[in-house]
Every structure is written in C-alpha cells, then in structure tokens.
Amino acid sequence: MFRKTAAALVAFVTLVGPASAHDFKVGMIEINHPWSRPTPPAAPVAGGYMILKNGGPDSDRLVEVTSPIAARAEIHRSLVEDGVASMRPVDGLALEPGVAVDFEAEKLHIMFIGPKQQLQDGDKFAATLVFEKAGAIDVDFAVQRKASQPAAEGHSGHGSAN
C-alpha cells in the first residue's frame, strides 16, 4: 500500500515536477530555473536570476549573457551597506567546483538592459549563457512575480527550492 502510494507520488512528481523544473546543463555546469520578474511598462531594465552549480573538478566563469529580448545584458551585484543600496557590474562570475551560486541569495542578477518587450507573468524568453570553459548554452527565463511562488497560468512548481 505504502509502496503504491509512494509510486503514485513519484509518478505525480515526475509528471508535475520536471515539466516545470526547468533545468539546463552545459559541460559540468548545471543551470537551475532561470527566471525573471514581470516588468512595468516603459521599464528600461529587467532582472534575471538562477542557480548555477559547477559539478566539475575545475573552476569556471559565467562571462557573457545575451538575449534577443534585450539590447544587452550584464551581471550585477546589489549591495545594501550602511542603509545605502548600490549595484555594480560583475566582470565574470566565478564558479568554483562543487559550489552552487544562487543569484537571489547572493544578491546577484542578470540585468537585461533595454528590453524590447514588456515581460508579463507567465512569459518565457530566450537567452544564451556563455561560460569560459563549458561554453555556450541557450536557456529560457520564466517570468514570474516571486522566486518562491509559481508563475501564473499553471506554471506550478517553479519555486526556487525545486
């Protein structure tokens, strides 16, 4: 009985989970759930987040991000120090072996500059990530209001914890 329930649960998770788990892999680099927030009209920028995991024995670096929806993209880190918020470009993001870099937790974001369209909750858009050693990979960013909550229109299971 328990086994049956467990099997059903696994089947359910398999059906629901991976359909929206939204992971990518290039070389030894795993890219977990790239996502972005909806943008207000006329917003000149959009932020992108993901978790990058280097499963290889050597360090690597995220050196470039491009997307057809933006004029250009940069890696930025936000900081609040002594009550002052600031944001600075990161020149290549180091990915050490065995370490996961969670953009949200580390106050990092991809800054998509000059988005050509307004990003709506539930949208997806394409981007290319270029790693120094692992090379380039095409991914898509899911547009959702919050990291920990599913996007609208049934994109359940998009949580960052998945």
Residues of the shown chain interacting with another protein in the complex, contacts defined by CB under 8 A: 37-47, 76, 78, 80, 82-89, 107, 109, 111-112, 145
How near is the Cβ of 133 to another protein at its closest, in Å?
24
How near is the Cβ of 145 to another protein at its closest, in Å?
6
What is the residue type of 80?
V
Strand partners, 77: 88, 108
Rounded-to-integer distance, Cα 57 and Cα 118, Å: 40
Nearer Cβ to another protein (33/37)? 37
Nearer Cβ to another protein (5/86)? 86
Q: Both tokens of residue 138?
A: 């095409």
Which residues are CB-contacts of 36 (< 8 A; sequence separation ≥ 6)? Answer: 46, 47, 48, 49, 112, 119, 125, 141, 142, 143, 144
How near is the Cβ of 2 to another protein at its closest, in Å?
37
Nearer Cβ to another protein (33/109)? 109
Rounded-to-integer distance, Cα 65 and Cα 75, Å: 8
The answer to whether residues 126 and 138 touch, using CB atoms and an 8 Å cutoff, is yes
How near is the Cβ of 30 to another protein at its closest, in Å?
23
Nearer Cβ to another protein (16/87)? 87
